[in-house]
Amino acid sequence: MVCLAGVFSDFYKNKMMKKQLVLELEENDSVLDSIKLAMKNHGVKECTVDYMDGTIRSGKMTAMVGQNFKTLNLKDSKVIHASGGFKLSFDELFGSMHIMARVGRPETGTLANGTVAAGTVIKLGFYTEPEKK
Residue 55 lies in a domain: yes
Q: 115 is in which domain, residue-wise? A: 21-128
Per-residue model confidence (pLDDT) at position 12? 47
Per-residue model confidence (pLDDT) at position 50? 95
pTM of this structure: 0.84
Per-residue model confidence (pLDDT) at position 130? 76
Burial of 128 (0-12, 13-18, 19+ CB in 10 A): middle
Helix ranges restricted to H, the chain: 31-42
Residue 64 lies in a domain: yes
Residue 15 lies in a domain: no
CATH number of the domain that residue 72 is part of? 3.30.1330.80
Residue 117 lies in a domain: yes
Per-residue model confidence (pLDDT) at position 14? 61
Please state, in angstroms and rounded to a whole number, the distance separating the CA atoms of residues 57 and 55.
6
Residue 39 lies in a domain: yes
Please state, in angstroms and rounded to a whole number, the distance separating the CA atoms of residues 51 and 97.
11
Residue 13 lies in a domain: no
Residue 41 lies in a domain: yes
Residue 11 has pLDDT above 50, yes or no: no
Q: How do residues 18-76 score in pLDDT, each as one tens digit?
A: 899 999 999 999 999 999 999 999 999 999 999 999 999 999 999 987 898 899 999 99
Per-residue model confidence (pLDDT) at position 131? 72
Residue 124 lies in a domain: yes
Residue 9 has pLDDT above 50, yes or no: no
DSSP 45: S
Overall domain count for the chain:
1
